[in-house]
Amino acid sequence: MANAQSKYQSISVNGRFLSQSITGVQRYAVELLNAIDRLLNSGQIEPIPVTVLVPRDAKAVPQWRSLRVQRVGRLTGQLWEQIDLAFHARETLLFTPCGGAPLFHPCQVITIHDAAIFRTPHAYTAVYGTYYRVLQRLLARKAQHVITVSEFSRKELVEFLHLPKDKVSTTWNSGEHVLGFGRDETILEGHNLQKGAYILGVGSRNVNKNLDGLIGAMSFLGDMEIILAIAGGANSRIFGDVNRTGGQIRELGFVSDGELRSLYENAACFVFPSFYEGFGIPPLEALTLGTPVVVSRAASLPEVFGDAAVYCDPRSPRDIAEKIRFVLQGNAPDREAAQLHASRFTWEYCARQTWDILSRSIDCQ
């Protein structure tokens, strides 16, 4: 905790994520800071001044009550992070909730969501993968502490980054934020989707998301006259080009929060057949809204979802299809029990754990 002898008396947050499109890691950053702001505003945690530093190209910046926001620097992207952010965060503890961080800041806590760039390097372009493998190794060694989002990811990071076990802590993500999204059912009308007549998949085009496997599963479900709707965008600079073709598929692209809620609530089931996940926010969002979920029996997913989901083999489109059929025939886990399971994951709990780590780490030596 900060005290009169501490060199650092305040916290800066790397707000570069506010210049990026929302995926799972950006969602974590936004909702975590929202929860920290609520706890600070209500006096439930010890107050330490927090400034969220954002680049000039930051888009929709939240209006927090206790967290100060400051636009700094002239650069953007990784140069902003390494130069402008490092300068403006000097003499503070710097917290980076996702992405990279400046190498030459002496007092940092970083969140690394998973070890995918080490475990599955083929899922990334050579330039992106090489940059972040080098960066994360250096940052993890220099950081006061590393936060991650599941026990699976904690073990992976300890292994790949050669870190002491007590230097990496697990906090949990949540799906509860989806309850605050206003419904927007125009997405259904725009893509001719009927309630209960489509399967929903959500994810980036990273091959780890295994959308090709989900598409391949549709060839085994032709007799059910079910549509596959896929929401999410592509970034070939990061993930390379992913070839995806197939019939009875509706490409939705990026969707708004309100559209996403309506897609979840009206889907026959949600399918998440990932090969590798650090946590898995989208299926937890679906469970929160009472939508039955099929996830792969891989990486962190069994740890997170327990008995609340149906599991498939991500390497087998036939098995993915069989598990979808199983759910569509009314064999999903009990809806109320699944929602209760999802409700145990809260952003307040994540925020309290994170704040405890930040409070202890502010006494950098």
Residue 233: the pLDDT is 65
% pLDDT > 90, the chain: 88
pLDDT for the residue numbered 239: 27
Query: pLDDT over 70 for what percent of the chain?
Result: 94
Is it the case that residue 5 has pLDDT exceeding 60? no
pLDDT surpassing 60 at residue 101: yes
Query: What pLDDT digit, counting tens, does each position of 162-208 carry?
Result: 999 999 999 999 999 999 999 999 999 999 999 999 999 998 778 99
Residue 341 and residue 64: Cα distance in Å, rounded?
A: 29
Question: How many whole angstroms separate alpha carbon 37 and alpha carbon 223?
Answer: 50
Q: Which of 179, 149, 171 is nearest to 285 (CA)?
A: 179
Q: Is the pLDDT of residue 244 over 60?
A: no
The pLDDT-based confidence of 286 (bands split at 50, 70, 90) is very high
Domain with CATH 3.40.50.2000 in the chain: 11-174+346-361, 176-343
DSSP per-residue codes, 283-309: HHHHHHTT--EEEESSTTHHHHHGGGS
As its CATH architecture, domain 11-174+346-361 has 3-Layer(aba) Sandwich (3.40)
Report whether pLDDT(16) > 50. yes
What is the pLDDT at residue 59?
86
- Average the pLDDT over 224-236 and give the result: 79
Q: What confidence tens digit (pLDDT) does each residue in 292-321 have? A: 999 999 999 999 999 999 999 999 999 999
235 pLDDT higher than 50: no
Query: Would you place residue 60 in the very low, low, confident or very high pLDDT band (cuts 50, 70, 90)?
Result: confident
Q: How confident is the model at residue 240 (pLDDT cuts 50, 70, 90)?
A: very low
Phi then psi for 145, rounded to 5 degrees? -155, 155
User: Alpha-carbon distance 281 to 279, whole Å?
Assistant: 6
Task: Pinpoint the alpha helices (H) of 42-166.
Answer: 77-79, 86-88, 116-119, 126-142, 151-161
Band the pLDDT of 15: cuts 50, 70, 90: very high
Per-residue confidence (pLDDT) for residue 364, from 0 to 100: 78
pLDDT at 275 over 60: yes
Q: Out of 3.80.30.20, 3.30.70.2200, 3.30.1460.30, 3.40.50.2000, select the CATH number for domain 176-343.
A: 3.40.50.2000
- Mean pLDDT for 13-20 is 96
Is 11:48 a contact under the CB 8 Å cutoff?
A: yes
Q: Encode pLDDT of 66-95 as tens digits.
A: 999 999 999 999 999 999 999 999 999 999
164 near 140, Cβ under 8 Å? no
| Rounded distance between C-alpha atoms, residue 262 and residue 48, angstroms | 38
Identify the pLDDT of residue 21. 87
Q: What is the CA radius of gyration of the chain?
A: 21
| Distance from C-alpha of 173 to C-alpha of 22, rounded to nearest angstrom | 15
